[in-house]
Structure 1
Amino acid sequence: MSTVSDFVIDRIQQWGVTRVFGFPGDGIGEFDGALGKAERKGEGLKYIRPTHEEICALMATAHAKFTGEVGVCIATSSPGAFHMLNGLYDAKMDNQPVVAIVGQQGLASLGTFEQQENNLERTFADVACYVQTIVSPEQAQAVVDTAFRTARTRLAPAVIILPHDIQGMKMEDAGREHWVSRSSAVAPSIQITPPEDELKKAAAILNAGKKVAMIVGHGANGATDEVLKVAELTGAGIITALRGKQVVPSDVPHHTQQLGLLGSGPSLTMMKDCDTLLMLGTNYPYAEFLPKTGQARAIQVDLKPEQMGLRYPTEVNLWGDVKATLAALIPHLDTKTDLSFQRMLADAMHDWDQEEQAQAEVEYEKLNPRLVYHELNKRLPPQAIVTCDAGTTADWYGHHIRLRRGMMGDLSGRLATMLAAMPYATAAKFAYSERCVICTIGDGAFQMLGMNELITIKKYMKDWENPQFIILVLHNDDLEQVSWEMRTEDGNPLWDTSQDVESIDYAGYAELLGFKGIRLKKGDDVGAAWDEAFAHRGVTLIDAYVDKNVPPIPAHISRQYMLNTAKALLKGDPEEGSVIVDSAKALFTEGVERAKGILHIGQDKEGEKNN
């Protein structure tokens, strides 16, 4: 007898799903039993069981990000369902298609205060683009198909709630009866292209622009060649959002990497000087770094129409897939002959890279975290996948990691939740087991749930084609990003009661599980540590004892940033001495390198005049 659970498992496979991330419990028990039965028959899904339901949801989100497929996570009723919320909000805020299947107590228990019975539809109403309880076998087909179709087209999580008694009921085919929907497991195309007249309007604006700037986000994934062609024709400089790093290869000279607090000086210059702005698949949230109102004519291309024209006043909004839209736009673009804007940005980026190297080479009381990332970047193998977390690892990832064509990288973007780097990296490894994956994470995030995932890795690594997996833990015994935010945003001194992270031997913990552990404390040893990790065909954890007071200096330091930091120090910051010394070193290095850059540009201009 085929049950509702059997049907749901078969149906999600029809939607192209081969791997799910789940954690069991009695509320989803009948469904789990059907998964086990299908596995024994060789017809099931690959079921990955990490150590926590939050990790399941984060892994499903990461799977969607790295593969473009729908991610699926499974959990039991109330406690398991609630644990998944953070990961589902990550999917919602980064526009990722995820379907969560959650258990529920039996139909007769709904609204009766039964153990583990809660109103899950109300719980998930905010995070999900579609949430529905299956209340009969005849309804199951339509609910499953609608969840997947909606998640795919709305680029958001959808939730299927499966009451325990429904899970084991005999499956009934959807008939022609009134109120019964007969649906299909067919995904609608999202390769949407705007109307021709709208494309021509956008082309006219780009053709008229003399200094065109592009901001490219993760929504442009898969459109690398089209993005580069548009930049070639329009003479545009290219900025990538932090989640868009992998879209544009780092060796493109006029690719100035990121913008804002984690961005480059040339990106800031581009925004100040541009007269035209093209935003592609990005909901870049920091409006203060975008051009002044009225400075630039702006165009936005996105599959999320509600997020267009939101950060900067746009003249044309093109609702469409970035790749398909650019392919249709390119024939309408003229070829610019004046590429001086691109050349200026390329020269500025060359100087910026020299400054970043100099910042990495500054010596502090403890190990410079910038140096650890700088040396990693030199050694990234082809096809590498790099993840980072929501703390200062995102700062150093943004400043020092340069993804070449074929490499991938990601993080929790708009939600910026801590600990995501580990489930992201593990999900990437399941999707691309032949690739080298590098997870970079702070000690605070690692202690949250990240350490647990070393257990997941140990459990599953035998299934990976290439067992190489590297974890970098920035070990500074401090929630460093929050410490700096307290100083620079609020003018408050470090409060060590809340900020201290209990120090443990992370390399030793990895060794307990049979992995390679490397303790890194000196700058002279950084290159050798990475060489050792990349030479090891297995799991390596680098426990890097880094200085916690290295300032994440943005490309432009605002007056308020400086005033707040000064206020924090005057209030008695316990790290006052180190903060002052370390900041002075960083600012001095920045000043010297920028002076060299100005001299370099001046010499180039003098040479052009003489020629």
Structure 2
Amino acid sequence: MSMNVSEFVWKRLQEWGLHRVYGYPGDGVGGLDVALEKAQGSDGSGMEYVQVRHEEMAAFMASAHAKFAGGVGLCYATSGPGAIHLLNGLYDAKMDNQPVVAIVGQQARTALGAHYQQEVDLVSLFKDVASDYVAIGTVPSQVRHMVDRAVRIAQNKRSVTCIILPNDLQLMAYEDPPLVHGTTHTGVGFPAESKLPEQEGLQAAANVLNEGKKIAILVGAGCLHATDEVIAVADKLGAGIAKALLGKAAVPDDLPYVTGGLGLLGTKPSWDLMQDCDTLLMVGTSFPYSEFLPKPGTARGVQIDIKGDKLSLRYPTEVNLLGDSAVTLKALLPLLEQKTDTSWRNTIKSNVEDWWKVLEERAMHSAEPINPQRVFWELSPRLPENCIVTADSGSVANWYGRDLKFRRGMMGSLSGSLASLGAATPYAVAAKMAYPERVVIGTIGDGAMQMNGMNVMITISKYWKQWSNPHLIIMVLNNRDLNQVTWEERVQLGEGKTESTQSIPDFPYAKYAELIGLKGIFCNDPDKVGAAWDEALGADRPVILEFYTDPNVPPLPPHITLKDAKNFMTMIPDEPELGSVLKNSAKELLSTVLPGR
């Protein structure tokens, strides 16, 4: 049956197994818009279209789709400004190694080079974010291999690729490439991957790990499918397990030797684990902060990763294994010797037990009016089975990373390497689209909510009645402050809060929810935090749950350097909210030094 280029594009993508696209229309993709309507099918089968309010959200959703659902995420946008808007979300996918294909429109081929309206050099624009593959179509017979290469490369390289289609090309009759010199003939199908390192490398890694006495394991997003294998290796080695932020769901937090997050948003037991170990096993992570890893020379290192360019990048590891985390750990396990000395692991367990007591005490400290830690602490035991939690950048990432105990089967993510503000709500939408039967909870600060979260709520109001389970909660910490940056300036720069840049308007988020047909819950009483969560989890529709929280509760790092302490003291004369800052900081520090007192 004859079809035009746009119709072929959606058909070919479905042949690759891509059945959901996030996007926004425009005259630069008019042909694709019309063809997409037909591609969805009258019975709801075919290519599902999720219409966003802003193209950046489409790219974030495609990135989150890849994270939560697996496979390749897909987004599209019109020419010029629409294409430009995609970039931030695409960089989120690129930096977190997520496979995403972006399709963008362009002005007619005859207008290119004429300084035409909305004409942007899109190949140059996307060349960095889609460095593995970006191409512009010029003739219909070229489009097949463009689609095939974009999807295959995105999946194989775990990267972003981009297809640029001029709007006149979109409407031309599609034709397969002729069998002549100067053409290529591609097919559908992902390549089989070599996921297992050679035996020699596995044995070398086992030798290092068997010789270790105090072993630390650091896992990341590459271990989200390797939970059983990580636990089995840790038990055989008597090791403790720390987690990079994107690997929070890789192993359950209720295991007594799981120390939690590592880094600025991490825990003290993870810091101690890294500083005291003699052997480090890094699996599926490109954790960026080398200063939180053992000092080079104090611990031997083994690393496993599916991407070779991530090996020996943050720590000078002695043995580097290129392979899938689950497959490699399973092959490594028989080569490992069972550790019989339990003293190292007993120390880890004791540190973890004490840490949870510290977090509970910190969460229960009084604040003006609500301590943000308590919001997360009260949520933790209420997390529904198999729920999905998203978090934004900012201070919410601290409490998400530290205070929530993930159990087996739960999922969670955020903008990791890019750490972009505004990802929590589009991530939540993508999670709900992929798993409409599961409870999804997005956690976001008021800065991110004002930036783009509120427009994503309109998207939620458009689609929620299609979901088999309506439970989606967007929890907003309303502290009227761009809080994480405020604290970074206090501690890292030694400067008091700069109110002109850091203070943001108060806004009735819960009332806004009611305005668009959702449920709004407002809480400014610390003793009613738990009840507010219960009400939200029992609602019959999506909820904005707004907590009025204290901006001056410090998101303390797991250890405080002398430089940080000096900067904090330097800040004091310039701090406009000094009394509250000092009072809350003293409470947090005393809980660390004297837990339970």
Give the TM-score, by structure 1 length.
0.96
Are 2:316 and 1:309 aligned?
no
Query: Are the aligned partners of 1:133 and 1:160 in contact in 2 as well (CA < 8 Å)?
Result: yes
Distance in 2 separating the partners of 1:440 and 1:253: 26
**Partner residue of 1:19?**
20
What secondary structure does 1:179 align onto? coil
Instruction: Verify: 1:94 aligned to 2:96, yes or no.
Output: yes
Q: Deviations over 1:437-472 (max 9, x none)?
A: 111100010000101111111100111010011111
Counterpart of 1:451 in 2: which secondary structure?
helix
Pick aligned residue for 2:180 from 177, 180, 183: 177
- 1:298 aligned to 2:301? yes
Aligned to 2:106: 104
Per-residue CA distance 1:569-589 (angstroms, 9 max, x = gap): 22x211112111111121122
CA contact (8 A) 1:300 1:308 kept: yes
**Residue among 525, 536, 539 paired with 2:539:** 536
Q: How far apart in 2 are the matches of 1:343 and 1:589?
A: 23
Tell me the SS of whatever aligns to 2:347: helix
Offset of 1:306 from its aligned partner?
1.2
Find the counterpart in structure 2 of residue 604 from structure 1.
none
Question: CA deviation digits over 1:81-112, x for unaligned, max 9?
Answer: 00000000000110000000000111122222
What are the superposed Cα offsets for residues 507-555 of structure 1, whole Å, 9 maximum, x if unpaired?
A: 1101111222111111111111111111213212111000000001122
C-alpha displacement at 1:29, in angstroms? 0.6
Q: How does 1:361-400 map to 2 (within 5 A)?
A: 361-400=364-403
Name the aligned partner's letter for residue 422 of structure 2. L
Equivalents in 2 of 1:270, 1:304: separation in Å? 26
CA contact (8 A) 2:368 2:549 kept: no
CA distance in 2, matches of 1:392, 1:514: 29
- Give the SS at the match of 1:256: strand
Residue 521 of structure 2 aligns with an amino acid whose one-letter code is I
Q: Which residue of 1 aligns with 2:459?
A: 456
* Corresponding residue for residue 606 of structure 1: none
1:264-315 CA-to-partner distances (Å, cap 9, x unmatched) read 1111111111111111110101111110111111111112211211111011
The yes-or-no answer on 1:489 pairing with 2:473 is no
Q: Does 1:587 align with 2:589?
A: yes
Percent pairwise identity:
50
Contact between 2:305 and 2:324, CA under 8 Å: does it hold in 1?
Answer: yes
Instruction: Give the conservation status (yes or no) of the 8 Å contact 1:370–1:400.
Output: yes
Aligned mates of 2:42, 2:591 — CA distance in 1: 64
Secondary structure of the residue that 2:58 maps to in structure 1?
Answer: helix
Distance in 2 of aligned mates of 1:303 and 1:462: 39
Match of 2:84 among 82, 88, 95: 82
Does the residue aligned with 1:47 lie in a helix, a strand or coil? strand
Q: Is the 8 A contact 1:238 1:254 kept in 2?
A: yes
Kindly report which structure 2 residues correspond to 1:419-498, keeping only aligned pairs within 5 A, or say none: 419-498=422-501
2: CA distance between counterparts of 1:369 and 1:115?
A: 48
Runs of 4+ in 1 over 4 A off after TM superposition: 40-43
Instruction: Name stretches of at least 5 consecutive residues in structure 2 with no aligned partner.
Output: none
CA distance in 2, matches of 1:530, 1:449: 23
* Residue range with higher mean Cα deviation, 315-324 or 366-375: 315-324
Which segment drifts farther, 299-308 or 479-488?
A: 299-308
Query: In the aligned structure 2, how far is the partner of 1:584 from the partner of 1:221?
Result: 37
Contact 1:212–1:237 at 8 Å: present in 2 too? yes
Once the two structures are superposed, residues 12-70 of structure 1 have per-residue CA deviations (whole angstroms, 9 ceiling, x without a partner) of: 11111111101000001101111112225555310000110000000000000001110
Deviation at residue 179 of structure 1 after TM alignment: 1.5
Task: Identify the residue that residue 156 of structure 1 maps to in structure 2.
Answer: 159
Q: Report the Cα offset of residue 560 of structure 1.
A: 1.0
Contact 2:11/2:39, CA 8 A, preserved across alignment: no
Q: How far apart in 2 are the matches of 1:124 and 1:454? A: 29
Whether the 8 Å CA contact 1:238–1:255 is kept in 2: the answer is: yes
Distance across 2 between alignment mates of 1:40 and 1:99? 22
Determine the structure 1 residue equivalent to 2:72: 70
Q: Does 1:517 align with 2:516?
A: no
- The reply on whether 1:223 has 2:229 as its aligned counterpart is no
- List per-residue Cα deviations over 1:169-222 (Å, max 9, x = no partner): 111122321121111110113351111111111111111111111100001121
Task: Tell me the equivalent position of 1:31.
Answer: 32
Partner letter of residue 378 of structure 2?
E
Cα contact 1:111–1:119 (8 A) shared by 2:
no
What amino acid does structure 2 have at the position aligned with 1:481? Q
CA RMSD, aligned part only? 1.2
Query: 1:257-272 residue pairs with structure 2 within 5 A?
Result: 257-272=260-275
1:119-164 deviation per Cα after TM superposition (whole angstroms, max 9, x unaligned): 1010001111210112111111111111111111111110010111
Aligned to 2:192: 189
Contact in 1 for aligned 2:373/2:403 (Cα 8 Å)? yes
How far apart are the structure 2 equivalents of 1:300 and 1:106? Answer: 49
Q: Give 1:345 deviation, angstroms.
A: 0.5
| Within-5 A mapping of 1:316-355 | 316-355=319-358
Query: After superposition, where does 1:197-236 map in structure 2 within 5 Å?
Result: 197-236=200-239
Match of 1:609 in 2: none
Contact 2:206–2:336 (8 Å) recurs in 1:
yes
Letter in 2 for 1:126: D
Q: Does 1:59 align with 2:57?
A: no
CA contact (8 A) 2:489 2:495 kept: yes
Aligned partners of 1:367 and 1:547 also within 8 Å = yes
Name the CA distance, whole Å, in 1 between partners of 2:456 and 2:487. Answer: 28
Q: 2: distance between equivalents of 1:238 and 1:312?
A: 17
2:510–2:521 Cα contact (<8 Å) kept: yes
8 Å contact from structure 1 (residues 213, 271) kept in 2: yes
Instruction: Provide, for residues 215-254 of structure 1, a one-character-per-residue CA deviation record: whole Å limited to 9, x for no partner.
Output: 0000112111111111111111100111101110112111
3-state SS in 2 of match to 1:593 = coil
Residue 241 (str. 1) matches residue 247 (str. 2): no
Q: Is the 8 A contact 1:191 1:324 kept in 2?
A: no
Unmatched tracts of structure 1, length 5 or more: 597-611
Whether the 8 Å contact between 1:250 and 1:402 is mirrored in structure 2 is: yes
- How much has 1:405 moved relative to structure 2? 0.4
Range moving further from structure 2, 575-584 or 95-104: 575-584
Cα contact 1:76–1:103 (8 A) shared by 2: yes
Q: Distance in 2 between matches of 1:41 and 1:443?
A: 40
Does the residue aligned with 1:246 lie in a helix, a strand or coil? coil
Partner of 2:5: 4
What SS class does the counterpart of residue 404 from structure 1 fall into? coil
CA distance in 1, matches of 2:517, 2:125: 41
Residue 213 of structure 2 aligns with an amino acid whose one-letter code is K
The answer to whether structure 1 residue 413 and structure 2 residue 416 are counterparts is yes
The code of the aligned residue for 1:8 comes to V
Task: Please give the alpha-carbon distance, in whole angstroms, between the structure 1 residues aligned to 2:290 and 2:461.
Answer: 43
Match of 1:287 among 290, 300, 305: 290
User: In structure 1, what is the Cα distance between the partners aligned to 2:463 and 2:368?
Assistant: 39
Letter in 2 for 1:88: L
CA distance in 2, matches of 1:164, 1:126: 23
User: Matched residues in 1 for 2:9 and 2:323: separation?
Assistant: 31
